[in-house]
């Protein structure tokens, strides 16, 4: 494993990507460890289905690149 510091950074970056990917009316909650819950208020299945891709794209922009 990469250690606690790397794990903390990964969780922080994921939380940031989620926050930047959801609407102001939605909720993102960290349940513990690496588990998150996202509540999409007044959403459609199509919007919900697009969310993982939006989060992944956001992560690619904010995560440091490893060589």
* CATH number for 14: 3.30.70.270
**Residue at 40 is within a domain:** yes
Residue 67 inside a domain? The answer is no
Residue 17 within any structural domain of the chain: yes
Does the pLDDT value for residue 5 go beyond 90? no
What is the DSSP code string of 1-67?
Answer: ---HHHHHHHHHHHHHHHHHHS-TT-EEEEEETTEEEEE-TT--HHHHHHHHHHHHHHHHHHSPPP-
Domain coverage including residue 23: 4-62
| Residue 34 annotated as catalytic | yes
Number of compact structural domains in the chain: 1
Encode pLDDT of 35-57 as tens digits. 999 999 999 999 999 999 999 99
Q: Which of 8, 26, 34, 42 is catalytic?
A: 34
* This prediction's pTM: 0.84
């Amino acid at each position: 494993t990469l250690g606690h510091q790397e794990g903390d950074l990964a969780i922080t970056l994921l939380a940031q990507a989620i926050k930047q990917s959801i609407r102001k009316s939605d909720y993102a909650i960290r349940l513990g460890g690496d588990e998150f819950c996202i509540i999409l208020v007044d959403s459609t299945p199509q919007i919900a289905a697009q969310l993982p891709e939006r989060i992944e794209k956001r992560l690619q922009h904010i995560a440091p690149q490893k060589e």
